[in-house]
């Protein structure tokens, strides 16, 4: 049987890689300066540093893999949230769950969302896609004021921003109700809920066009591909009322 210090393990390289990521996350959580050394990770797992370099390349490779691992956990958690008939309620639950994930994984979250790394893992883009999917459900029921892409940008930026503030400056941002206030303010700008004041006629027309566009993109209908593409062009034009009907 091989000794772990030689760089091999009877349980396989994949398991060793997972244990090194777990050790790196534990050490990161305990670090006063939100950093971790490759030597400490190797000592925690019981291997020599060439093993880490073979699996991750260097420290940046280790941290990039740890960030990707964190996003995978985050995405798995998001996919486990209930999907109800009220997409706006689901959107609120997603915001609150984001904050809860951060408070439960403080050091990892700061590494995930403010990484000093050469590149952000591809898995990070899936968070945006999940949020946009929920917003498209909001659009399909007429609850979205602006395009889903713009709303996703605003909501994710605000969610990450307020959460990083809680973690980075807890003395200044000590109010536990702050995330809810920011959430409600951003949602008010992006969403058109039933309690909102009636919108001007041109805004209602744009909203109706946006709602129909979202429904067309979510399901197939009686129109053919060409007819659907033409209708989408018209619907998107109706969402830009400032252009009017100029010749």
Q: Which residues pair with 191 in a beta bridge?
A: 144
Alpha helices in the chain (DSSP H): 13-30, 38-45, 49-56, 59-79, 87-104, 106-113, 123-140, 148-168, 178-190, 201-218, 225-238
Q: Do 212 and 173 fall within a single domain?
A: no
pLDDT for 204 equals 65
Q: Do 97 and 179 fall within a single domain?
A: yes
Q: Do 239 and 183 fall within a single domain?
A: no
DSSP class of residue 5 equals G
Q: Do 192 and 137 fall within a single domain?
A: yes
How far is Cα 241 from Cα 202, in angstroms, rounded to an integer?
Answer: 7
Output the pTM of the full model: 0.72
* 111 domain-assigned: yes
pLDDT for 98 equals 97
* 37 domain-assigned: no
Mean pLDDT over residues 174-200, rounded?
A: 81
Q: In whole numbers, what is the pLDDT of the chain averaged over residues?
A: 84
Distance of CA 34 to the CA centre of its chain: 22
Print the domain residue range for 189.
83-196
Provide the percentage of residues in the chain whose pLDDT is more than 90: 62
Residues 6+ apart with CB under 8 A from 138: 87, 88, 91, 144, 148, 151, 191
* Burial zone of 15 (CB within 10 Å; 0-12 exposed, 13-18 middle, 19+ buried): exposed
| Domain count for the chain | 2
Q: Do 87 and 185 fall within a single domain?
A: yes
What distances in angstroms separate CA 51 from CA 57, 59, 62, one per listed residue? 9, 12, 12
Write out the two tokens for 122. Answer: 């591809």
* 53 domain-assigned: no
Q: Do 148 and 174 fall within a single domain?
A: yes
Of 78-82, 169-173, 189-193, where does mean pLDDT reach its minimum? 189-193
Residue 54 backbone phi and psi in degrees, to 5: -70, -35
Residues 6+ apart with CB under 8 A from 113: 160, 163, 164
Q: Flag whether pLDDT at 67 surpasses 80.
A: yes
pLDDT for 12 equals 45
């Amino acid at each position: 049987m091989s000794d772990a210090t030689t760089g091999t393990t009877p349980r396989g390289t994949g398991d060793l890689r997972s244990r090194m990521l777990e050790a790196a996350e534990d050490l990161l959580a305990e670090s006063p300066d939100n950093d971790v050394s490759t030597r400490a990770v190797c000592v925690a797992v019981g291997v020599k540093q060439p093993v880490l370099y073979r699996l991750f390349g260097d420290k940046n490779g280790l941290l990039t893999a740890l960030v990707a691992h964190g996003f995978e956990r985050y995405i798995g958690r998001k996919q486990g949230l209930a999907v109800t008939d009220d997409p706006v309620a689901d959107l609120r639950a997603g915001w609150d769950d984001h904050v809860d994930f951060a408070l439960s994984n403080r050091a990892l979250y700061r590494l995930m969302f403010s990484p000093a790394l050469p590149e952000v893992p591809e898995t990070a883009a899936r968070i945006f896609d999940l949020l946009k999917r929920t917003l498209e459900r909001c659009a399909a029921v007429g609850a979205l004021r602006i395009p889903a892409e713009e709303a996703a940008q605003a909501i994710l930026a605000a969610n990450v921003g307020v959460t990083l503030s809680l973690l980075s400056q807890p003395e200044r941002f000590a109010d536990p109700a702050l995330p809810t206030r920011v959430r409600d303010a951003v949602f008010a700008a992006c969403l058109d809920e039933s309690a909102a004041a009636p919108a001007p006629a041109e805004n209602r027309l744009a909203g109706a066009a946006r709602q129909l566009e979202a429904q067309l993109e979510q399901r197939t209908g009686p129109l053919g591909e060409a007819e659907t593409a033409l209708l989408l062009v018209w619907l998107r034009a109706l969402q830009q009322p400032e252009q009017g009907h100029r010749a």
